[in-house]
Every structure is written in structure tokens, then in C-alpha cells.
């Protein structure tokens, strides 16, 4: 039997598949559906320090091989998460990843401090949030802005710090190097791609915000390209995500050099997707005489 364990940030994860933020609740919702102990971790619903109601109007739209969403980071806030969600999340039998975004550097710093004190295992910093002090430009677009917020957060973060990158970065390799230099322990990418849809009957955009995030298999080849670039730019671990639907999809990211993968949109199609993909990775390894993931990680780059 293939050994699916992954060593990440000095810890041993049960497997290479981590449930992606915003697609898996906080974990307990899936406890009766999947064996969560087989996962490498669960990245909880994206949080902001004070919480927010999310976007009005249409929020989801299926597209060919994809899904558009305009949720707007609806969440209960860090304090509510710590009191009401985290205790059950810790009982899921896998590593607890808290995903946090903020609209100012100060919000990010305070949220990270609270989450670390509460005992999360990994902090995933979402830098796609708009920086209100910079006119609404997302932290994840310019490397200098990303370096600023990551450096500030690093000063209070006492757990492994993973920075989740936006595909809108001006220069992805420069962005990767900037967050590594600022103290990130790892990188996850990529977040959703900006997209647009028009309602022909209403003759207007489907979403109130006009643009929405596109995820799903349609973006996988682009996400894979970005992961390839990130692995080549930094020495810290890169966690790949974007349209992974099968074990074969996940193996592409691992062969491109990803330390682990995250599975998101697939959970809406198949609630057992994370465990199924884990199983499919193991089946491929057994069929090809591969004992550990280290044997094939980055092999496509050779």
C-alpha cells in the first residue's frame, strides 16, 4: 500500500489533500460523510476580524466546467469562530487551518494574533482582500503590498503561516519571492479568477458586483501553470489548488512540485471528493509501484 503521508512544516499530515477554504464549512458538516482523519487538513471558511454579511444578489452560477461565486466573504468573525466553531473543528481528527483576510494591515495582525492564541494548527492568510487604506486595491496584486502585510502578520504568528495568492498578481514569481522574504512558511495558489456573466433576459450582469470568482476544472491548466512558476520561484512549500476533481488532477500538481493540494469546488459536486481523491492517488501509486509521494514530487521538472 502506498504511503500517502506528507511532511509539511515539520508536521506529518495523514494525506496530501486539504479541504479548501469556503467549500467545506468548518469541517464537522462533513464528518458523517467522509473519514476526515484521512485528510491532510481542513481550511475553514474564510474569516475577517469582525465578520461581514457578504454580497447581495445572485451568488452562484454554474459555467461549463466551472462555478462562479460572489459570496463576498460572508463569515461570523474571528471571535465567533473561536467560541463556536473551533472546538468542533478540533475534533475532526485532522489539522485545523484558519483562513483569514482583512481590509487593513491592522485587522490582519489582530485576527492572526487571536487565532494563534486559540490554537489553530496553520494560519492561511488570504491576501485577495481589498486594502481599504490603499483605495481598495487587493494586498495580493502588488508584491510590495503583500510583503508589507505578510511581514506585519509574521510578527505575531506563532504557527506555520501559509499565504494564499491571487491570480491577479502583477508578477507571480516576484509575488512569491516577496512573501517568502517577508516570512511566509508556505504558499497556496491559486485563488479564484475574476470572471463575468451576463443575464440575457435582464440584459445586465448576473452578479451585483459585475465580476465574480471563477473556480472548477476550467481553470485547472492555468492554476497548474501558476503552481509550476511558484515552485520555481521559492524554496518554501507550495500547496496547489484550482480545479482538482480527480486523483489524476492532484498528481499533476504534485509532479509539478506541489507539496500538497487543496480541493474546493469538487466538494459541491461530490461531498466525498477529498477522500475519494486521496484514495485515487493511492491507487495510482500502487499501480505504478510508487511507495511515497516524495518519489514523484516535482518529477515533471526533471
pLDDT attached to residue 136: 62
CATH of domain 6-54+76-196+216-301: 3.20.20.70
- pLDDT at residue 117 in the model: 98
Among residues 139, 108, 255, 271, the alpha carbon closest in space to that of 263 is found at 271
Return d(Cα 19, Cα 265) in angstroms, integer. 10
Residue position matching grid coordinates 489533500: 17
Classify residue 135 as exposed, middle or buried by CB count within 10 Å of its CB (0-12, 13-18, 19+).
Answer: exposed
d(CA 93, CA 276): 17
pLDDT category, 134, cuts 50, 70, 90?
low
Mean pLDDT across the chain: 96
Predicted pLDDT at 1? 87
Rounded Cα–Cα distance for residues 109 and 132 (Å): 15
Q: How many helices (H) and strands (E) does the chain have?
A: 9, 18
Q: Decide: 40 and 92 in contact? Cβ < 8 Å.
A: no
> Does the pLDDT of residue 234 top 70, yes or no?
yes
Predicted confidence (pLDDT) per residue in 82-106, tens digit? 999 999 999 999 999 999 999 999 9
The pLDDT of residue 129: 75
Mean pLDDT, residues 113-120: 98
pLDDT band at 137 (very low <50, low <70, confident <90, very high): confident
pLDDT digit string, tens, across residues 245-285: 999 999 999 999 999 999 999 999 999 999 999 999 999 99
C-alpha cell of 298?
516535482
What percent of the chain has pLDDT above 70?
Answer: 98
The predicted structure's pLDDT at residue 193: 95
C-alpha cell at 36: 476526515
The domain spans of the chain are 6-54+76-196+216-301
pLDDT of residue 18: 98
d(CA 43, CA 65): 23
Q: Is the pLDDT of residue 200 over 80?
A: yes
pLDDT of the residue at 131: 64
pLDDT in tens, 156-172: 999 999 999 999 999 99
User: Mean pLDDT over residues 166-179, rounded?
Assistant: 96
**C-alpha dist (Å) from residue 56 to 74, 101, 196, 207, 291:** 10, 20, 16, 9, 49
| Whether residue 129 lies in the annotated active site | yes
pLDDT digits (tens, 9 = 90+) for 50-79: 999 999 999 999 999 999 999 999 999 999
The active-site residue, picked from 129, 157, 190, 274, is: 129
For residue 301, what are the β-bridge partners? none
pLDDT, residue 128, reads 87
Amino acid at each position: 500500500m502506498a504511503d500517502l503521508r506528507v511532511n509539511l512544516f515539520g508536521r506529518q499530515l495523514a494525506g496530501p489533500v486539504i479541504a479548501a477554504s469556503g467549500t467545506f464549512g468548518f469541517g464537522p458538516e462533513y464528518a458523517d460523510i467522509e473519514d476526515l482523519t484521512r485528510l491532510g487538513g481542513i481550511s475553514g471558511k474564510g474569516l475577517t476580524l469582525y465578520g461581514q454579511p457578504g454580497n447581495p444578489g445572485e451568488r452562484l452560477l454554474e459555467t461549463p466546467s466551472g462555478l462562479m461565486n460572489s459570496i463576498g466573504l460572508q463569515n461570523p468573525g474571528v471571535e465567533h469562530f473561536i467560541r463556536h466553531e473551533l472546538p468542533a473543528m478540533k475534533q475532526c481528527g485532522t489539522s485545523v487551518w484558519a483562513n483569514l483576510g482583512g481590509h487593513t494591515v491592522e485587522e490582519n495582525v489582530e485576527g492572526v494574533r487571536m487565532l494563534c492564541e486559540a490554537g489553530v494548527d496553520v494560519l492561511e492568510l488570504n491576501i485577495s482582500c481589498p486594502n481599504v487604506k490603499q483605495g481598495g486595491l487587493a494586498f495580493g496584486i502588488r508584491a510590495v503590498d503583500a510583503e508589507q502585510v505578510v511581514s506585519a502578520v509574521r510578527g505575531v504568528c506563532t504557527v506555520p503561516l501559509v499565504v494564499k495568492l491571487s491570480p491577479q498578481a502583477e508578477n507571480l514569481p516576484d509575488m512569491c519571492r516577496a512573501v517568502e522574504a517577508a516570512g511566509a512558511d508556505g504558499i497556496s495558489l491559486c485563488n479564484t479568477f475574476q470572471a463575468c456573466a451576463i443575464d440575457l433576459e435582464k440584459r445586465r450582469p448576473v452578479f451585483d458586483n459585475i465580476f465574480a470568482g471563477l473556480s472548477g476544472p476550467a481553470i485547472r491548466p492555468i492554476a497548474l501553470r501558476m503552481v509550476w512558476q511558484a515552485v520555481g520561484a521559492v524554496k518554501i512549500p507550495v500547496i496547489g489548488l484550482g480545479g482538482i476533481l480527480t486523483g489524476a488532477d492532484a498528481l499533476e500538481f504534485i509532479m509539478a512540485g506541489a507539496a500538497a493540494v487543496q480541493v474546493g469546488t469538487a466538494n459541491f459536486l461530490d461531498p466525498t471528493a477529498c477522500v475519494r481523491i486521496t484514495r485515487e492517488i493511492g491507487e495510482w501509486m500502487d499501480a505504478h509501484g510508487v511507495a511515497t509521494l516524495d518519489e514523484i514530487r516535482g518529477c515533471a521538472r526533471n
